Amino acid sequence: MEEINKIQRLGVFTSGGDAPGMNAAIRAVVRTGIYYQKEVYGIMRGYEGMIEDDIVKLGARSVGNILQRGGTILKTARSTAFRTKEGRVKAFENLKKNGIDGLVGIGGDGTFTGLYHFSNEFGIPTVCLPGTIDNDIAGTDYTIGFDTATNTAVQAIDRIRDTALSHNRLFFIEVMGRNSGYIALNSGIAGGAGAIILPEEKMTFDDLYQLLGAGKETSKKSNLVVVAEGSKLGGANELARKISERSDYFDIKVTILGHQQRGGSPTYFDRVLASKMGVAAVEGLLNNQSNVMVGFRENKIVYNSYDAVINHRHEIEEDALRIAKILSI
Ligand code: F6P
């Protein structure tokens, strides 16, 4: 790789909700930086650590044995102070003090928005990696952590199916994803859900009622409904309550999967994705790819400008929706 940029000291941080694979990304950034003879510093607790000068030097060995671990060794936070100009000025002064002249941020839309303002105000080159279980980032087919979280949801759904069948029960299972239905859609297909309720879907409550066929001779007594937490029809508790108010045909239970979807050892897919993206982040920075987010589209690493990513939706795949409908009859 021909090196164009004169960056000498890289800073790396994780911000927003943690996601499995963030450690693999940190490891890749640190080792790639060192491979190109740069110094690499870890900024603790995202933007909070930048503001409070909580910055530590990292070596190739300090990121050993983390590839397979969930969470983030750099810790993370959702910073309100960084939203103020005063907070950002402090953060920049600390970076200058530590000689950091290039930044890699790993997180979601909020993280990117922070870096967008920061790089515009202070001119520091930045690259972002999409790290969130939600898979809600435009410019990449997959975010780091989505595959692991979806596998965790599928494992839970499989277990719930065993007990649902044994008791002839209808389960409403709520999965994470904020305003995105990616985890719900994919775990619903993989877990054989009878219905999948997504924020992006225009399904009405009557449609759901019909689909479940409450009280009809032919309808299944035992069934699984996967509900995205951002569903506009209501969450799992609300939907379960509404169905039971209208019909006593089902024995209904609710499971909210919650934060277990955020933890755990990353899958092979997330480890490889994070590793490829981490290398691309540093090589991009050293090649003048400033103020971009690394994405993975159609099996290739791509660089997207922040403008093409921030406040854009990662649309749900229409074909996956169609497949889910066909298979849930
Ligand atoms: O963005 C990741 C995510 O886990 C979302 O799926 C969820 O809505 C949110 O974070 C929960 O945030 P917190 O951990 O701050 O409660």
Specify the pLDDT at position 271.
Answer: 98
Range of the domain at 211: 148-262
DSSP 8-state code for residue 103: E
Instruction: Assess whether 159 and 214 both reside in one domain.
Output: yes
Exposure string (b/e) for 190-225, b if CB count within 10 Å is 16 or more?
A: bbebbbbbbbbbeeeeeebbebbebeeeeeeebbbb
Specify the pLDDT at position 329.
Answer: 82
Instruction: Assess whether 289 and 244 both reside in one domain.
Output: no
| Residue 94 domain-assigned (yes or no) | yes
- Assess contact for 49 and 142: CB atoms under 8 A: no
Instruction: Assess whether 48 and 185 both reside in one domain.
Output: no
First CA to last CA distance, the chain: 53
Instruction: Assess whether 83 and 204 both reside in one domain.
Output: no
Instruction: Assess whether 26 and 110 both reside in one domain.
Output: yes
Specify the pLDDT at position 170.
Answer: 96
Q: What is the pLDDT along the chain (329 residues), one digit of tens a residue?
A: 666 668 999 999 999 999 999 999 999 999 999 999 999 999 999 999 999 999 999 999 999 999 999 999 999 999 999 999 999 999 999 999 999 999 999 999 999 999 999 999 999 999 999 999 999 999 999 999 999 999 999 999 999 999 999 999 999 999 999 999 999 999 999 999 999 999 998 899 999 999 998 767 667 889 999 999 999 999 999 999 999 999 999 999 999 999 999 999 999 999 999 999 999 999 999 999 999 999 999 999 999 999 999 999 999 989 999 999 899 88
CATH of the domain at 201: 3.40.50.460
Q: From CA 188, how far away is CA 214, in angstroms rounded?
A: 20
Q: What Cα–Cα distance (Å) separates residue 307 from each residue in 109, 135, 159, 293?
A: 11, 18, 42, 10
Instruction: Assess whether 273 and 255 both reside in one domain.
Output: no
| Residue 315 domain-assigned (yes or no) | no
At 264 the three-state DSSP class reads coil
| Residue 177 domain-assigned (yes or no) | yes
Active-site residue flag, 207 = no
Given the residues 134, 136, 147, 270, the one annotated as active site: 134
| Residue 12 domain-assigned (yes or no) | yes
Q: Which two tokens stand for residue 109?
A: 């839309």
**Residue 50: left (phi > 0), alpha (psi -120 to 50), or beta?**
alpha
Within a 10 A sphere around the Cβ of 308, how many other Cβ atoms?
13
- Assess contact for 30 and 63: CB atoms under 8 A: yes
CATH of the domain at 102: 3.40.50.450
Distance 177 CA to ligand 1 centre (A): 7
Instruction: Assess whether 137 and 41 both reside in one domain.
Output: yes
Instruction: Assess whether 43 and 112 both reside in one domain.
Output: yes
| Of 95, 98, 97, residue with least CA distance to 124 | 95
Task: Report the DSSP pairing between strands 251-256 and 169-175.
Answer: parallel
CB under 8 Å to 166, separation ≥6 — which residues?
none
271 sits in which H/E element: helix 268-286
Specify the pLDDT at position 1.
Answer: 65
Closest ligand 1 atom to the C-alpha of 261? 4
> Can you list the alpha helix ranges (DSSP code H) found in 98-193?
109-122, 146-167, 182-190
Q: How many domains, in total, are found in the chain?
A: 2
Mutate to test the pocket of ligand 1, among 134, 137, 146, 182 (most ligand atoms within 8 A of CB): 134
Distance 124 CA to ligand 1 centre (A): 29
Number of H helices, E strands in the chain: 11, 11
Q: What Cα–Cα distance (Å) separates residue 29 from each residue in 16, 26, 66, 78?
A: 18, 5, 13, 22
- Domain boundary residue, one of 205, 236, 262: 262
| Residue 235 domain-assigned (yes or no) | yes
- Domain boundary residue, one of 229, 262, 295: 262
| Residue 200 domain-assigned (yes or no) | yes
Question: Hey, whose CA ends up nearest to atom 9 of ligand 1?
Answer: 178
Distance 137 CA to ligand 1 centre (A): 14
Specify the pLDDT at position 221.
Answer: 86
Mutate to test the pocket of ligand 1, among 14, 178, 186, 229 (most ligand atoms within 8 A of CB): 178
Distance 216 CA to ligand 1 centre (A): 38
Specify the pLDDT at position 213.
Answer: 86
| Residue 322 domain-assigned (yes or no) | no
Q: At what angle do helices 182-190 and 318-327 cross, to 10 degrees?
A: 40
Q: Where are the beta strands (DSSP E) in 115-264?
A: 126-130, 169-175, 195-197, 223-228, 251-256
- Domain boundary residue, one of 200, 231, 262: 262
| Residue 323 domain-assigned (yes or no) | no
For 227, list phi and psi in degrees, rounded to 5: -120, 125
Instruction: Assess whether 53 and 136 both reside in one domain.
Output: yes
Instruction: Assess whether 139 and 274 both reside in one domain.
Output: yes
Instruction: Assess whether 71 and 216 both reside in one domain.
Output: no
Instruction: Assess whether 129 and 152 both reside in one domain.
Output: no
